[in-house]
Structure 1
Amino acid sequence: MIELEDVWKVFGTDERAVLNEARRPAPDEAVLKRLRAVTGVGGASFKVEKGELVCLMGLSGSGKSTLLRLINRLLEPSAGQVRIDGGDILSLGRKALRELRSQRIGMVFQSHALVAHLSIRDNVALPLEIRGLARTQREDRADELLARVGLEGLGDRRVSALSGGMQQRVGLARALAADPDILLMDEPFSALDPLIRYDLQTQFMALSRELGKTTVFVTHDVDEAFRIADRVVLMRGGRIIQVGTADTLVNEPADDYVRRFVRNARLPERLDQQPSKTRAFA
């Protein structure tokens, strides 16, 4: 389980002064301007249950990617608590934090961040090589995961030979290689063509539920969030505006901003009504 309690991330010429001013009930805008203050995340509190898939949704600049990076301390929070299974990760030293990231958390970005000179198999197996696993074991694991994401038999190819959709599948397989408890995903499908994107969403939903991963998924796309998420966290200006299911946000919006944000969204079809197998698009 992931828990965030009153988490802040602020930027400016004096981070402590920015934080103190930003947390006041009525911040002085002149002071914030003088400090060149930016509130990346302001007072975020929510939980992600074990095995749950939660989407952080909002427009560009809403703070969703910043918040994602606070969960594994790629960014250091200015204040608040971040807990994984009850343990405060802000208290971890460098070694313990590296172990947390390498063993319990997998991350997938919009950019595939694959190593061009390595084969597809070696890209997937890279986290296991870093952990010192024997070559045969890590290659077997890589081939197993490539089959799961629809790339069976392609392990010897170079990543440069793959389309964007296929490369994103490799990135997902690599994130799963170490069998992490948690997946953090930052708009992984946003650069893909609609048909490929839809197919990957379907495959990812099935895979996520099959493996029981706790997932935090960033997107600016309402339809994508509503389709794949158990719950959605809608953000604006670094603040969480509403947390709930797709039905809740559509039928019980917290304010007019939420109402306008989701008014054209399509409520999702159920996963068990979708085809059990997806096509492997190039």
Structure 2
Amino acid sequence: MSEAETKIKIRNLYKVFGSNPKRAMKHVHGGLTKAELLEKHKHVLGLKDITLDIKARELQVIMGLSGSGKSTLIRHFNRLIEPTEGSIEIDGDDVMAYGEKRLRDLRRFKMSMVFQRFGLLPHRTVQENVSYGLEIQGVDQDEASKRAAHWIDRVGLSGFEANYPVQLSGGMQQRVGLARALATDAEILLMDEAFSALDPLIRTDMQSILLELQEELHKTIVFITHDLDEALRIGDNIAILRDGELVQSGDGQDIVLHPADDYIADFTKEINRAKVVRLRAIAQPISGEAPTGEPMPDSTVLEVALQKLTEAEGHILPVSNKAGQVTGQVHLADAVAALQSPHA
């Protein structure tokens, strides 16, 4: 995790759905569970006491099974859903205090959204769909066309500008949705199950496109998914929800190696750790004489590192950071131990 400042700050966020949420909150604070609240009071507890910091210029994944509250949570950031209790700050500003104009500007200029089912306007061409957010911002037509053309090219759709959504595959439609979100130059990108409707190969391709763009653009991205493999591949940080509660939040490596409870352990037990765990998660400080051999980058996955460690003198090698500085060491025994599924 970088030392980036907090972009979105969520504190003690609750959401209750029903005819009288405020009254129902008394029962929630009194200790009623989600199931009990529904059975006894006919209200649904969507979110319970969520506190989370989302760092600027990082890709935050929010994941969980269906009904966990992840899509409900992301829709609070731009107040498409109003919280029952709690606070949301963006760049230190209280979003709950925004009037109609500031909230409209937040949605137009500061946040863009990419939806699971693409959300394209069927009567508009690719060019017109990508330009839509710019029109809402009041950008003149020539500039909007130029910026739309740039992002259409960046997502690999040059030549399809005049096509309508119905003429495109699912993967191509989602590229249009991504280009539309990026064209507005919003600082924050909300992606709600954006790749879930795509075939596996297309989904992997879209993940690669997103990572390549993020390497260049450094947006603050909040990405909703139910797929742990996807979360581990793209996320700088992962927050896991269950029944509206935040169960664990942190670096993906830490979640895989140190699950908070049995629920998280079950989530992670089928993961191929050799392809997921990176050396930075298991590196130890150098004690005594520094190991010989060429340092391995701390981003190296175990699958690659194991062969080099097997051949290294003493089965130990130094580990370096992005700047090439040696920051620690890894022993073969620690790498092998990290392949085993830990108990919660």
Give the alignment's TM-score, normalised by structure 1.
0.92
d(CA) in 2 for partners of 1:28 and 1:98?
33
Q: Deviations over 1:216-256 (max 9, x none)?
A: 11000010011100011000000000001111111111111
User: Which residue identity does 2:160 align to in structure 1?
Assistant: L
User: Which residue identity does 1:52 align to in structure 2?
Assistant: E
Match of 2:199 in 1: 193
Match of 1:142 in 2: 148
* Bigger Rg over Cα: 2
d(CA) in 2 for partners of 1:235 and 1:173?
29
What is the deviation of 1:12? Answer: 2.3
User: Which residue identity does 1:204 align to in structure 2?
Assistant: L
Match of 1:164 in 2: 170
Whether the 8 Å CA contact 2:253–2:277 is kept in 1: the answer is no
Match of 1:100 in 2: 106
Match of 1:110 in 2: 116
Match of 1:260 in 2: 266
Confirm or deny that 1:203 pairs with 2:209: yes
Sequence identity of aligned pairs in percent?
44
* SS, match of residue 124 in structure 2: coil
d(CA) in 1 for partners of 2:188 and 2:36?
41
Match of 2:67 in 1: 61
Confirm or deny that 1:251 pairs with 2:289: no
User: Which residue identity does 1:128 align to in structure 2?
Assistant: L
d(CA) in 2 for partners of 1:25 and 1:6?
15
Confirm or deny that 1:218 pairs with 2:224: yes
Q: Give the total of aligned pairs.
A: 272
Whether the 8 Å CA contact 1:14–1:35 is kept in 2: the answer is no
Whether the 8 Å CA contact 1:51–1:209 is kept in 2: the answer is no
User: Which residue identity does 1:256 align to in structure 2?
Assistant: D
Confirm or deny that 1:85 pairs with 2:91: yes
What is the deviation of 1:28? Answer: 10
User: Which residue identity does 1:94 align to in structure 2?
Assistant: E
Equivalent runs, 1:26-41 vs 2, <5 Å: 33-41=39-47
Match of 2:29 in 1: 23
What is the deviation of 1:113? Answer: 1.2
User: Which residue identity does 1:13 align to in structure 2?
Assistant: S
d(CA) in 2 for partners of 1:96 and 1:30?
38
Whether the 8 Å CA contact 1:226–1:268 is kept in 2: the answer is yes
User: Which residue identity does 1:133 align to in structure 2?
Assistant: V
Confirm or deny that 1:154 pairs with 2:160: yes
Unaligned runs of 5+ in 2: 1-6, 279-298, 301-344
* SS, match of residue 233 in structure 1: strand
* SS, match of residue 121 in structure 2: coil
* SS, match of residue 112 in structure 2: strand
